[in-house]
Structure 1
Amino acid sequence: MSLPALPPLPEAHEQFLDSLLKHLRDDERFVGLAAGGSLLSGTVDEYSDLDLISVVADEHYAAVMDQRLQLSAAWGTLLSGFTGEHVGEPRLLICLYDNPLLHIDLKFVVAADLAERIEDPVVLWQRGTVLTDAIEPGDADHPMPDPQWIEDRFWVWIHYAAGKLGRGELFEVVDFLSFVRERVLGPLALVSAGHLPRGVRRLETNVPDFAAELRGTVAAYDATSCGEAIVQCVRLYRELRDRLAPAELVRRHDAERASVAYLHQVMAAK
């Protein structure tokens, strides 16, 4: 296999791609294969999954979508596969293969779908120039954090977490802390360092100093630990907000004061 401008891949990943490309080339219903994620960024390691985009000829798309689970089973030793409605992407098939053991995300699209995308995929194979023709006219548009959206909600979330802490619902607090790391702190920290806002993915590598501080938001199942973790969330959010806030940001000062005061009141009662 000759992959375009990619660094060396782990043997298991290269083996799977070799096999998949052979299947697709031999099936006239498919017109190309592209990749995103770590394959695009050149960061594939032995623990990586593969984010692949199988491009189907328009006239065969409906039939392929009906048969995609059976097709994916024919492309390797499929242990399990399911569709991606839970992540808002019904075109996605999430697969676990064996021999080699790999997590593979397969998205099935037609070429025109490539015009709207969050990243510019690397084309691994195509018939003619059908994929590059669909990609080149437009630009990728990765969703970015909306500072006002976050500010409008953050202090309400802090009040909610404080209430759960006061009631002793510590599993709820632990879940809340994970949510804030994934939806607020991780994305803002990555953006502040010039990276795309992909939750907390590769945070330890891309923003190691921030990752060290973020450890303070990982609580034990203990009321004191949970309270301190919420306080750390507040501190880190304030720092990131001040660093990234646009001039027009409307700060919810009253909500901030009230929710933080309530948090400390609850913590003092524990």
Structure 2
Amino acid sequence: MKDSLSVSTVNEDGVPMTFPSTLPATHQQLLEQIIKVFSKDPRIVGIGASGSYASDSMDKYSDLDLVIAVEPEYLNQVMLERLELVAKISGKVAAFTGEHVGEPRLIIALYEPHALHVDYKFVALPDAAQRVDDTQVLWQRGERLSAVLASAAFAYPQPEPQWIEDRFWTWVHYGTCKIARGEYFEATEFLSFLRSNVLSPLALQKQGLTPSGVRKIEQRLPDFAKQLSLTIVSPEKSSLIKALQQCIDLYLELREPSQVVVNTQAEKLCIDYFNAEFAN
């Protein structure tokens, strides 16, 4: 990841005077408005940006991933008013909470006229230190947000090889049963789970890269992506059988026996079961 840019110097409106070089003009205009509006709320201590903003790798399709740091004593109040706060930004056409992605603190919003997507994560100021990627301070009262971010390093969750090994073969049995029973759409979804939660994270981790599922896997690991593409098939029995076999083969290539206690009994049982079910 590139070193994040220093953008904590602001003008009289509280807006950063420099932005990442890849920030599109449309995103910048919306971001400037967000900072102007939110900085007027005395309960808000600082605003940070993570994701492609912090790594200076944005394009016109990028979201704005914002952290809104709130005075702890006002957090509950602000959480109740989040949708109203987001609606103060002109152009809002939709906004909703993020329980479906496991983050209830999140407000996901869409703005016209350029159909820009903004994620607002509202957190108590001390909790801003707990983050999975770099966060660049956009605006803050004093140096309070910067100090909190400096108190702890960001860390992306890493796949745990033993955790995966303890489950993988039972997952293979599950996939085999779904295909054999004729639940082809369910089996197709299951293969997506293996790609996102097992195969891609392990492949990225093995190369020393951030194990962020299948995101940008085509650019980050092009050779592996070609192998992974063989697991993307239509919901038909013969195609699904080949795809699940490819998942098994890829896992065996990625698994490092020196890092895990291999469950040889479960592995043999489930591979034999797979082969027996689809022998013809």
The normalised TM-score by structure 1 is 0.93
- Which residue type is aligned with residue 117 of structure 2? H
Gaps of 5+ in 2: 1-14
Provide, for residues 144-203 of structure 1, a one-character-per-residue CA deviation record: whole Å limited to 9, x for no partner: 101001001101111111111111111111011000001001111111222111111110
Within the candidate set 125, 130, 151, 1:137 is matched to: 151
Quote the Cα distance in structure 2 between the aligned partners of 1:43 and 1:186: 21
Relative to structure 1, the CA distance from residue 125 to residue 223 in structure 2 (aligned partners, 3 Å threshold; closer, same or farther) is: same
- Which residue type is aligned with residue 142 of structure 1? Y
Within the candidate set 224, 238, 253, 1:239 is matched to: 253
| Contact 2:34–2:89, Cα closer than 8 Å, also in 1 | yes
| Contact 1:4–1:124, Cα closer than 8 Å, also in 2 | no
The answer for the alignment partner of 1:262 in structure 2 is 273
The answer for the alignment partner of 2:11 in structure 1 is none
- Which residue type is aligned with residue 24 of structure 1? F
Provide, for residues 4-43 of structure 1, a one-character-per-residue CA deviation record: whole Å limited to 9, x for no partner: 5622311221111111111122222222110111112222
Deviation larger for 53-62 or 199-208: 53-62
Aligned length: 266
Q: 1:186 is paired with a residue of what secondary structure?
A: helix
Quote the Cα distance in structure 2 between the aligned partners of 1:224 and 1:248: 34
Relative to structure 1, the CA distance from residue 149 to residue 79 in structure 2 (aligned partners, 3 Å threshold; closer, same or farther) is: same
Is 2:65 the counterpart of 1:51? yes
The residue correspondences of 1:1-270 to structure 2 (distance < 5 A) are 1-2=15-16, 6-242=20-256, 245=257, 247-269=258-280
Quote the Cα distance in structure 2 between the aligned partners of 1:189 and 1:39: 25
Offset, 1:96: 1.7
| Structure 1 residue runs of 4 or more that deviate by more than 6 Å after TM superposition | none
Quote the Cα distance in structure 1 between the aligned partners of 2:95 and 2:47: 19
Relative to structure 1, the CA distance from residue 4 to residue 198 in structure 2 (aligned partners, 3 Å threshold; closer, same or farther) is: farther
| Contact 1:51–1:106, Cα closer than 8 Å, also in 2 | yes
Offset, 1:218: 0.4
Root-mean-square deviation over aligned CA pairs: 1.6
Q: 2:159 is paired with a residue of what secondary structure?
A: coil
| Contact 2:71–2:125, Cα closer than 8 Å, also in 1 | yes
Q: 2:255 is paired with a residue of what secondary structure?
A: helix
- Identity, % of aligned pairs? 44
The normalised TM-score by structure 2 is 0.90
- Which residue type is aligned with residue 179 of structure 1? F
Provide, for residues 204-258 of structure 1, a one-character-per-residue CA deviation record: whole Å limited to 9, x for no partner: 111111011100000112111100000000111111113xx5x351101121112
Structure having the higher helix fraction is: 1
Offset, 1:99: 2.1
Q: 2:132 is paired with a residue of what secondary structure?
A: coil
Offset, 1:101: 0.9
- Which residue type is aligned with residue 255 of structure 1? A
Relative to structure 1, the CA distance from residue 4 to residue 254 in structure 2 (aligned partners, 3 Å threshold; closer, same or farther) is: farther
Quote the Cα distance in structure 2 between the aligned partners of 1:103 and 1:116: 23
